[in-house]
Structure formats: C-alpha cells, structure tokens
Structure 1
C-alpha cells in the first residue's frame, strides 16, 4: 500500500506566490530607497539611484555574483504579478506628473513660439539618427531581424523623452512652475505622444497590419480624444471637484475612488487608441492640474506611495532583463559610444538651436536641451517592448538602456552648472 502524495491546495499555492512576491518587493523597495539617498548625497537626482538599484539587482551584478540566490528570489524571469504592478505604477505616476506642472508660462510669446519647434526637432533629429545607426549596426547585431523594423525601434528609443522622470527632476530642483521647466515638460509631452504614435506604427508594421488608412484613422481618433478631454472631461472634472471639495487638506474616499476609476478608464481609452495605457494617466492628471488644493492633497495621500512602492518595481523589472556584462568586445563598446554620442548630441544640439531661435539666451536654450535629453523611464518602456517583440537584440537593448541611464545621469550635474548662470537658485527638494 502506498501513500498518496499530499495535494497542494489553491490556497497554499496563493500563499507561496504571495510569499515570493513579498520577498521581491522588500528587496526592490529597500534597494531603491537606499540608492535614492546615496545618489542624492552625491548631487544626483534620486530617481537615477533608483534606476541603478534596478540594474544592480539584475544579471549585471546580483545575478552575476550570486546566481543561485538571484534565481531563488527573482526566478528565471519577472513574475506576472510584478509585471502588472509595474504597469499600474506607471499609470499612476503619469497621472501625478500631469497634475504637477503649470502651462501658464506658455502664454508668453517666446514659450508659445518655441514649443512646437522644440518638440519637433527633439523627435525628428534623434529618430533619424537612431534609424541611421540601426541600419549601420544591423549586420553586426541584428542578423536574423528585419533591418527596417530593428532600425525603427532604435529610432523611436532615441527620440523619446521621459516625461515622468523629467517631471521628478524638475520637482526636485523646484522648476516645475518656472517658464523653462514648463516649456521643457510641455515639449516633452508632445515628444512622447509623437514617439508613442511612431511606436504604434512600428508595432503595426511588425505584425503586418500597417496601412496608411489605419494610421490616418489613429491620428484622427487621437485628435478626437484630445478634443473630448478639453471640451467635455475638463469641465466635468471641475464640476466633480466642486461637488467633492478638499476639506482640511484631505481628499474624500469617494472622490479618490472616482479619480482612480477615471484614471484607469482613460488608460483603457488610450490603450485602444494605440498610444499605450500610461498616457491615459497623464491625460487624467492634466484634467485636474489647475486645482492646486486637490493636487497637493493627492501628493500627500497617494503620491509618495506611488513613488516609493510602484516605481522601483518597474526599474527592477527592467534591470532583471539587462546584462551590462554582456558587452564583451571592443566592437560592442565602440557601438555603445556611438549610440550614446548620437543620442545625446541628437537631442541637445537641435533643441539648443530651436531655443535660440525662439528668443532664449544660450544658457537657457542649453538648459532646455539638457532637460529634453532625459530619457530614462520612457526609453526603458520602448526598449522592453522592442525586446519582447524580438526586434531588439539583447546587446543593443543593453546599449540603449545605458544610453537611457547616461542621459539621465548627466542631467543633474549640468543643471547645477547652468541654473546659476540664469540666476536660478539650485535648491533641492527633500521629498524626491
């Protein structure tokens, strides 16, 4: 007579999965906060430290020196709950960024004159350079990948600007409401929408569903979405905030529930429009950014949790897929330098020229270019999509991750050099 093996119940499976996810969250959140504080101590934006924490937890360090322990904690690939948590966090973060900046400075003539040219050159020039480098590097790295699709992914990754990270840097340096900060993040928002539309077109071409008619329809639907937000949803948001006013600096639970529902519904809309769910969160934030009482209350009740809990999950998710030690040959490093140089100069130089033509002096135009060169979060999202769809090889994925980190890493030191030249005090927020 043999004894039957004990059955594992669904409750036990759930508890085991929960235990595994909790271990990962403890490590992710702790590492991100420690590195945030370390990098801030050295004058860097704290978010750069959080990105580095994600990379260190991946195969570049933790997985390389402690492979068995890393596999036992994180597994062979990120667990589905971690992937979902990272995406929810991005939606909420984008909403928070949309809430946090002013458009009032754009009423000034030179800001209005500069906005569209800045946004246009910040997309077109680096996109063209990325496509060009993609074609040149394809024989080396992408032998089994269609050259056109590989090159287009390189172009989109180099064209993007990271609105959420730029917003956090501007908040950390007290520039969200300054004319230059508002101009930079407004141009970056246009840049990113254009980038996502480009990415949607590339993805459609990759799946052989691309057509001019479909692209025109998508653009038309996006414009309709913008009009609905401005003409219908914005007045509705004002009415909602009047009905549920902020009392004693607190958002009522009913209003918070309605706000979360609206954020996720707008995310579903933008997903259907092909510009990805996170832009629904950004649109939701823009609808209420005029109500400073609501925005401040949201920051206190929700914002800190989003930054401390959700964002490190995404950075670790990316870090687990990035192996900096995979670049082993001189050829790899030369191509890395080419991508970093082209990505940096392709953003800063054309934005600087457009800023000068709009009437800004050289330090101001250069500062805008430096801000627009911040890629981190958004480029990481594009790169993850390219890797998942198989149109970015692992080595180029790693190179472009380094580009994203490097361009963000240089932002803080350059701001500290340029801000005094514009009579701007370099004040650092302790809340970032």
Structure 2
C-alpha cells in the first residue's frame, strides 16, 4: 500500500474505534468521547498495540504516516489552544478578585506542591524520569504544575452536561479555572526560558506586543468574517515566532488568543469552532500523543508513578478547595463540588506534557505516567460530582 492508503487506514481507526467504544460501551457517564479518544490513542501506541502486534503496527504507522498525522495534530492542537486563549476572560475575575485570587491560588498552589513532592519521590527512585535536556528544577516544577492543571475546555463540557454552566456557581468555577489557566502558561514559559536564546525570546515578546496593538486596532475595524481569516494568519505567525525564539509554538498559540477579545466573535460561532476542532482534528492529536507513550522503565513502575501523581493531584486540589471554602465561608459541600470539577485535566495537561516532552524536560516514561494520571483524574470527576449533587441538590443553585 502507498502512504496515502495507509494514512487513510489510520484515519478510519482513529475516528471509528473510539466512537464505537464510547457509543456501544455507554461510557458517557464517566468517560466522555474525548476521554475515550485519549485512551484509544494510548492503546494504539507502541506500548500496547505496538508491543502486542509489532508487525501490524509497523505496517500502518510508517514514519511517513506518523509524520502526516503529526502535521494534522500540530494544527489541531494550535487551534484548540488558540480558542482557549480567546475565551480566557479575566475581567470578571478582577471584579471578584479577592475570592477569585484566594480560591485560584489555593486550587493551584497545593496540588502543585503535592505534585512537586511526588516528583522528588520519583527522582529518589530513578533519574530516568528526567529528559536529556531537562534539569532537576524544571522537572519538579513541570510535574508539580501538571498535577495542578485544570482543562478549561473539558470543564466547560462537563458544566454543560450538569446544567451548571449558566448558573452562578458554574461561572465562579470558570473564573477560578481561567486564572489557573493563565498561571499554567506563565510557568511553562518560565520552564522553557533558554538563557542561550534569551535575546531571541525578548525580541519575540517585544515584536508580539507591538503587533498585538496593531492587530487589535485592525480587528475592531473589520467585519467578523474577516476577523476569522485574520485570526488564523495571526495564529500561524505567533506560533512560528514563539517556536523560533525557543518558547515552543504552543506558547505562541496561547498568546495569540489571549490578546483577542472574545466579544469580537459571535459566541455561537466560537462554540461551534471549538466543537468542530474537538470532533475533526483533536482525535488525530490524541493518537499522535499515544504514539509517544513508552514503558521503558517497566510497566509496573510507570503505573505506580501514575498512581502517585494521581493521589497528589486529587488530594492537593481537594485540600486547597477545602481551605478556600473555610476562609471564604462557603456552604457545606460546595468546596468538595468545586474541587472535583477542577480535577478535569485531560486536554490542557496532555498539551502541557507534550510540550515538556518536545523540549526533552521529561522522559517518555514520565510522559506516559502523566498521561495516565490526567485520564484517571478526568474520569473520576463526573461520577463524584453527580454523587455530590444527588446528595445535595441545592448546590446547583436556583433554576
């Protein structure tokens, strides 16, 4: 078979297998389609399918096919991060800055500390978790932040399913997650700071700031269809500049979205774009992510590392929200509900971990452990939240 035919076979598998598992297995109560797609990507990777059926794996996933899939995945994930940047609205968080800063700070800080301690425990067992270009502090900070991440797009999906998105509680949770989302990318930029290329990075940031001012003036003078076309060019240019400077194209994609106001675009159009990117492009990213999973230090050790990171992430987040609830006088049960909803990690944490792997800060084994932790944390969210709401329906708020 030629490369085009093998590519299309891979695409058939990517889109059919997760859908069949999700639909026939009726997993939506604990694992929405996006989570099943991530799990399928892991299952199709070299550590699972590749190990069990190496000849079939090598036949379909040739270097040329993998390269083609990776190109689709790059563009899909850049669009996804770009949309997340557009939807980041800090104005409401500023209006309730005391509550938002306390809650977001504790929701991010405690799981990050717990994750950093877990990272130190992993290093006490083996240094094989650190990538060839990573340092000890980068690894510890990166793992800590990965344990603290909340995936804002998945959180929106869950809030919609629970009919909480338009409730005051749902809007509060989005504010907390938005602040944490901003901190995540700031920490990632710090981890990726390259003193040998600091001149390039400063040049990029200066050019980005000046270009952003010009872009904002232009976007306010053109109709919405032109704004979408300009936005795509802007995304590609910012991603290119960030990668050229050493900050990674994903940081550039997020920055490109942050300087664009969400109200410049119809909300329905933004929602549809996010939905279509998730449906059409992100499954390819999940498979390409699965192809990067490795079990070099041993399957049992990777699973143990994932379990340790999962405990650190869940316990740290719940403890942080409980402390915030006590400081702010929340009603009983609200801290636990918010704490579990903020456990959703799947997409943003996987993107975060992909960047760390690209930059060789973490090893493939650490990446696999983080991937499993993200999936486990996300799958715990909906069952726990539904149980809490069943016990205390008043937590939903009015309506």
TM-score in terms of structure 1 length? 0.75
Change (3 A) 1:387 1:232: closer
- Tell me which residue corresponds to 2:48: 61
Equivalent pair of 1:98/1:283 in contact (CA under 8 Å) = yes
Between the aligned partners of 2:59 and 2:302, the Cα distance in structure 1 is 31
- Tell me which residue corresponds to 1:115: 100
Tell me how far 1:397 sits from its aligned partner: 2.4
Equivalent pair of 2:169/2:396 in contact (CA under 8 Å) = no
**Quick check: 149-158 or 34-43, which moved more?**
34-43
Change (3 A) 1:144 1:375: closer
CA-to-partner distance for each residue in 1:348-388, whole Å, 9 max, x for gaps? 21023214423432322222211222111222123223333
**Quick check: 270-279 or 403-412, which moved more?**
270-279
Equivalent pair of 1:119/1:190 in contact (CA under 8 Å) = yes
**Quick check: 356-365 or 267-276, which moved more?**
267-276
Change (3 A) 1:394 1:93: closer
Q: Which runs of 5+ in 2 are unaligned?
A: none
Question: 1:165 aligned to 2:154?
Answer: yes
Between the aligned partners of 1:362 and 1:355, the Cα distance in structure 2 is 9
Question: 1:31 aligned to 2:17?
Answer: yes
SS in 1 for 2:261: helix
- Tell me which residue corresponds to 1:10: none
Map 1:146-295 → 2, pairs under 5 A: 146-204=135-193, 209=196, 237-240=219-222, 243-244=223-224, 252=225, 254=226, 256-265=228-237, 267=239, 274=247, 276-280=251-255, 282-283=257-258, 287-289=261-263, 294-295=266-267
Question: 1:305 aligned to 2:294?
Answer: no
Give the number of equivalent residue pairs: 388
**Quick check: 48-57 or 387-396, which moved more?**
387-396
Tell me how far 1:314 sits from its aligned partner: 1.2
- Tell me which residue corresponds to 2:109: 124
Between the aligned partners of 2:354 and 2:89, the Cα distance in structure 1 is 31
Tell me how far 1:58 sits from its aligned partner: 1.4
Equivalent pair of 1:142/1:150 in contact (CA under 8 Å) = no
Between the aligned partners of 1:180 and 1:228, the Cα distance in structure 2 is 37
CA-to-partner distance for each residue in 1:111-132, whole Å, 9 max, x for gaps? 5432112222233222222222
Tell me how far 1:233 sits from its aligned partner: 5.9
TM-score in terms of structure 2 length? 0.80
- Which one has the largest radius of gyration? 1
Question: 1:376 aligned to 2:346?
Answer: yes
Between the aligned partners of 2:154 and 2:352, the Cα distance in structure 1 is 15
Change (3 A) 1:155 1:310: same
